[in-house]
Structure 1
Amino acid sequence: MNNKEFLELVKNVEVKYEKDVGKDHYRQNYHLMPLVGFMNDPNGFIEFNGEYHLFYQYNPVYPEPKKVCWGHVKSKDLINWEKLPVALAPLDWYDSHGCYSGSAVNDNGIFTIMYTGNVKDDDGNRETYQCLAKTSDGINFTKDEKNPVISNQPKGYTRHFRDPKAWRHKDLWYMVLGAQTEKKQGTAVVYKSKDLYSWYKVGEAAGSNLPDLNFLGYMWECPNLFNMGNKDILLFCPQGVEAKGDLYNNIYQCGYLSGKLDYDTGKLSYGKFTEIDRGFEFYAPQVMEDSKGRTLMVGWMGLPDEENSPSIERHWLHCLTIIRELQLRNGKIIQKPVEEMKLLRKEEISYNGIVLENGEVQFQNIKGDSYELLCDFSYEKVQSFGVKLRCSADRKEEILFYYDALEEKLILDRSKDGFHKSGVRKCSVENSGKLRFNIFMDKSSVEIFVNDGEETFTSRIYPRQGSEDVIFFADNGTAELNLKYWKI
């Protein structure tokens, strides 16, 4: 199959299932998702010639055997995205079983992407190749004739060696790759190059095999290594981390180490590992710096090996998060919805001085399945308070998000969302007498930013059509609420 034939295959599949997909009330209103088929990792997030480009892993024929390619969209405002043709297709010997994750760079005016080519033989043995592709028009990409630029892995590592994230530092290119040592321990490996073609290993930024860090998984995926202020951040997804109380409760994790990168050794002097999201689905983030000096991040609202969704019946699966701006506050990453999200706001409704006292309050004009909700709570003596989202009329369905002031914990409970039969996630937030919830609800997802990004909870949810009520409450005490609501 050649590229033209592959694009024709994708087009035919999209036409075949487009109407069926369009009938699904779980289709998102303002989140990026595949037209049909399976989406996972965001890739190649970059601003080039005044436009934002974003790629993503895409298998249009899902659930048939994988044909993992790179989907492609672009935008001028991070809100309105134009769908473009598939950028990479698994058609060459070095990527025959998938064009896996990678990144994009501006190489002296040349829009260049770097990705992992995945190959498996008849016995399932894996080979991995790091590859380049370029474009002159920002739409049609040509794989480099010198591919692969790195064949398989260096000594001491397994074939789980992938997801290159490249950047420029002074007069050299660097990249970080997710890897697994022969001892089955996760790590992040740093390389350098003068020209994107000849790469040399510098060292390991960090890893489960380093003596000053407790075991942190058997494989590290989708690493990002970037600078914010006076900190270098390694953001990655370790697989195989055991749950510890409220921490690490998803099948796979996503979090970061911060410190200072030694470019001579590749070693990061780091502190503790911190989860970057407290919800049920957040993985494989891509980070970039735009022309405004902002550090932007987008993630996959899904997890590997978890494909439990009613949308599969309509021939599509998964979506991406909204774009977020990252900042440092007291050494911790905080996440805020990008300023451009305000462009989606419609019909503002606000209420001030609402007293919640041992009960519930509901407003008939605050409801729906696609909106932004801003809640400012103040309190002194109360056991818990919060909001019930996507409630059904019979109250059999609800997504519960609240603060337990006695335990000083935020709690997201989606066990009554209409699809999941269980599910609670918690994190600790100090009792300060004030809390802000900024909630972005979409047809089948919720993203919650607490205290202007101090914590986030990202999750897929699947309420029945018509489950749209919003209820505010306080138990065993009193809380005061100011709120703003916008339809999206």
Structure 2
Amino acid sequence: MKSEREKELFNQAYEEVEKYKVIVSKDPFRLNYHIMPPVGLLNDPNGFIHFKGVYHLFYQWNPFETKHGAKFWGHYTSADLVHWEHQPIALAPSEWYEKNGCYSGSAIEHEGKMFLFYTGNVKDEEGNRKTYQCLAVSEDGIHFEKKGPIIHLPNGYTAHFRDPKVWKKGDAWYLVIGAQSEKGEGRAVLYSSKDLYTWEYLGPIAGGNINGLGEFGYMWECPDLFELDGQDVLIVSPQGLKPRGYLYNNLYQTGYFVGRMDYENVTFEHGGFVELDRGFDFYAPQTTLDKKGRRILFGWMGIPEENEPFHPTIDYHWIHCMTIPRKLELKHGKLYQKPVEELQKLREKGITYLDVRINGKPIELELVNGKSVEIIIDSITYDTERFEISLNGKARFIYTPSKKIATLERKSLKEDKIEARHCELESLHKLHIFLDSSSVEIFLNDGEEVFSSRIFGNVIDESIVFSSAGEISFNLRKWTLKKVFD
């Protein structure tokens, strides 16, 4: 039963959607096949779950402005991870324990019901924060009954204690939370439960100055712990890492540790931290295990507080989007990300070029141009110092074999200059590119590395130009991709 305050907030949000619907739809940077907010600001993916044969993806949403504020949970559903239907709002910050935002969390299925776990954010008049881990339950996955706080802040942590991710292991439920210790260290903290309502604090399993990690940021957001190919993987988004060469060049980072979770002794022995995406815009991902046994990931194609006021979509009253869904695999201790197979449903107007050869002179291939396209380049052989692909004049992918460096360049959103992100890559044998009207996702070597970024610029330019400093040859397949979002 919704409270009067909740009904009021729902109505205000729907009115905002209706008010700006026409303006939003006129934005030339509106995406064709990426999940976006109908208005306002979208950030973290929440509650990603395959429930009764349907994929549900909730998202952090501020419907009232293109800034971070008192978040709602927006809600999309899909039968195939490609065609998405907007559902009624799932959560609004209507109660005392969440009045400043229904922050991020996760979803599980139990006894035929969907359970949402999320963080209730509360601030007093002086800006002091309180945090509560909360529960809402649904029979149909659409309408939710709030059960209120189930976890209160334990000793030893600041109120930066949020983003519960829940799963089952054996006959017990577990929950991991992103946290900050009173000493200002990032933490991933574990709880357990038998009934999903009463939770026992077990302690931190990873963080700064734990397991020999040393100093490692002042806050860990959006943890996600899961088993994959016989090992345990912890994905986290640390804040406060300093840039180190090609590493940690965004304001905040996202990456993972591979190891072994010992539930009995509450320890997680792990290796080093590896960045999950090398582009400009990737944060707070969340995974789910679907009925096909796949571990699938969505990420937010954005970074909190980094250049957000300079996104041109703000003029049209919206900002941010999700990545495409990706299947995760663990190979030789490294996470690989691959676009899910269902995305092939987007394809139309395919074209194939065999044995394309470039020797210094830039070329455009007839029928390859476009702003909503998928391109696969493989059978790559090269004897060159530099291979480049210019994408709609908005971004450039560059591979430098002698240095074994892959690079993505774009024009800065904030300043009149070119900025770059890099990663080490021993060799390049395959590129898989998803280009949309204001985004690019580039998968290298079947997902060994990924660059995800928003890109803005000339809305007319649809050119895709190849060039090299020496000889290179490859095969290329290209498809125009359907529009599935307004």
Question: TM-score, structure 1 length as denominator?
Answer: 0.95
Structure 1 residue 266 displacement after superposition:
2.4
RMSD over aligned CA atoms reads 1.4
Q: By how many angstroms is 1:417 displaced?
A: 8.4
Contact kept? 2:113, 2:141, Cα under 8 Å: no
Deviation at 1:463, TM superposition (A): 1.9
CA distance in 2, matches of 1:6, 1:181: 34
Q: Give the equivalent residue in structure 2 for 1:334.
A: 336
Alignment match, 2:426: 430
Alignment-mate amino acid for residue 441 of structure 1 = L
Cα distance in 2, alignment partners of residues 132 and 420 from structure 1: 46
C-alpha deviation, 1:63, in angstroms = 4.1
Deviation string 1:4-36 (CA, Å, 9 cap, x unpaired) is 221211111111101001110000000000000
8 Å CA contact retained: 1:390, 1:469: yes
CA distance in 1, matches of 2:112, 2:272: 38
Question: 1: CA distance between counterparts of 2:38 and 2:194?
Answer: 39
Structure 2 unaligned segments of length 5 or more: list them.
Answer: 482-486
* Aligned counterpart in structure 1 of residue 65 of structure 2, from 50, 62, 66: 62
Please tell me whether residue 198 in structure 1 is matched to residue 198 in structure 2.
Answer: yes
Deviation at 1:165, TM superposition (A): 0.1
Whether the 8 Å CA contact 1:78–1:340 is kept in 2: the answer is yes
Alpha-carbon displacement from aligned partner over 1:118-173 (angstroms, at most 9, x marks no partner): 000000000000010011122111101xx21112x211111110000000111110
Residues 211 and 269 in structure 2, CA contact (< 8 A), matched pair in contact too: no
Q: In structure 2, how many angstroms separate the alpha carbons of the residues matched to 1:388 and 1:417? A: 18
Specify which of 456, 473, 476 is matched with residue 480 of structure 1: 473
1:412 — aligned with what?
408
* 2:432–2:444 CA contact under 8 A, matched in 1: yes
Tell me the secondary structure at the aligned position of residue 88 of structure 2.
Answer: strand
Candidates 454, 458, 462, aligned match of 1:468: 462
| Structure 1 counterpart of 2:144, one-letter code | F
Distance, in Å, in 1 between the alignment partners of 2:64 and 2:32 is 23
1:94 corresponds to: 97
AA aligned opposite 1:305: E
Distance 2:383 2:124 in 1: 64
Alpha-carbon deviations, 1:203-245, whole Å to 9, x = none?
2221113150121100000000000011100000000000000
> Does residue 111 in structure 1 map to residue 104 in structure 2?
no
Cross-structure match for 2:453: 459
Residues 418 and 22 of structure 1, relative CA distance in 2, 3 Å threshold: farther
* Post-superposition offset of 1:384: 1.0
Looking at structure 2, the residues matched to 182 and 4 of structure 1 have their Cα atoms a distance apart, in angstroms, of 38
Q: Counterpart of 1:23?
A: 26
Amino acid in the other structure paired with 1:54: L
Alpha-carbon distance in structure 2 between the residues aligned to 1:44 and 1:420? 38
Q: Which amino acid aligns with 2:297?
A: M
Structure 1 residues 418 and 181 mapped into 2: Cα distance closer, same or farther (>3 Å)? closer
**Is the contact between residue 66 and residue 318 of structure 2 (CA under 8 Å) also seen in structure 1?**
no
**1:226 maps onto 2:220 in alignment:** no
Task: Tell me if the contact between 1:388 and 1:401 (Cα under 8 Å) persists in the aligned partners.
Answer: yes
Instruction: Describe the superposition over 1:230-286 as per-residue Cα deviations: whole angstroms up to 9, x where unpaired.
Output: 110000000000000000000000000010001023211100100000000100001
Stretch of structure 1 that moved more, 411-420 or 218-227: 411-420
SS in 1 for 2:213: coil
Measure, in 2, the Cα distance between the counterparts of 1:408 and 1:443.
Answer: 30
Contact 1:202–1:264 (CA under 8 A) maintained in structure 2:
no
Query: When the two structures are aligned, how many residues end up with a matched partner?
Result: 476
2:324 to 303, 322, 328: 322
Tell me the residue number matched to 2:141: 138
Letter in 2 for 1:69: F
Evaluate the alpha carbon distance shift between residue 171 and residue 34 of structure 1 in structure 2; reply closer, same or farther with a 3 A threshold: same
**Residue pair 1:61, 1:67 contacting (<8 A) in 2 also:** no
Determine if the alignment matches structure 1 residue 178 to structure 2 residue 181: no
Determine whether 1:148 maps to 2:144.
no
Which amino acid in structure 2 is aligned with residue 78 of structure 1? L
- State the shift of 1:402 in Å: 1.5
How far apart, CA to CA, are the structure 2 residues paired with 1:2 and 1:418? 39
Distance apart, 1:415 and its partner CA: 2.5
Q: Is the 8 A contact 1:399 1:417 kept in 2?
A: no
Instruction: Name the SS of the counterpart of 1:456 in structure 2.
Output: strand
Matched residue SS, 2:90: strand
Q: Distance in 2 between matches of 1:417 and 1:383?
A: 29
Displacement of 1:196 = 1.0
* Aligned structure 1 segments of 4 or more residues deviating by more than 4 angstroms: 416-420
- Mean CA deviation greater in 192-201 or 269-278: 192-201
The aligned residue for residue 440 of structure 2 is: 446
Q: CA separation of 1:64/1:360 partners in 2, compared to 1, >3 Å: closer, same or farther?
A: closer
Inter-partner Cα distance in structure 2 for 1:142 and 1:149: 14
Any conservation in 1 of the 2:135–2:149 contact (CA below 8 Å)? Answer: yes
Q: Which runs of 5+ in 1 are unaligned?
A: 392-397
Secondary structure of the corresponding residue to residue 89 of structure 2? strand
Q: Structure 2: how far apart are the matches of 1:268 and 1:382?
A: 44
**Residue in structure 2 matched with residue 250 of structure 1 by the alignment:** 250
TM-score (structure 2 length as normaliser): 0.96
Q: Secondary structure at the match of 2:314?
A: helix
Between 130-139 and 87-96, the greater mean CA deviation after superposition: 130-139
CA distance in 1, matches of 2:370, 2:138: 42
Preserved CA contact (<8 Å) 1:418 1:463: no
Secondary structure at the aligned position of 2:259 is classed as: strand
Query: Is the CA contact (8 Å cut-off) linking 1:356 and 1:481 kept in structure 2?
Result: no
Name the CA shift for 1:64/1:384 in 2 (closer, same or farther; >3 Å): closer
1:251-400 counterparts in 2 under 5 A?
251-306=251-306, 307=308, 308-376=310-378, 378-391=380-393, 398-400=394-396
For residues 225 and 70 of structure 2, the distance between their equivalents in structure 1, rounded to whole angstroms, comes to 29
SS at match of 1:281: coil
In the alignment, is the contact (CA less than 8 A) between 1:417 and 1:463 conserved in 2? no
The worse-fitting range, judged by mean Cα deviation, of 453-462 and 356-365 is 356-365
CA distance in 1, matches of 2:192, 2:289: 20
Q: Give, in whole Å, the separation in 2 of the partners of 1:138 and 1:91.
A: 20
Deviation at 1:416, TM superposition (A): 7.3
Q: Distance in 2 between matches of 1:278 and 1:80?
A: 27
SS for the counterpart of 1:250 is: coil
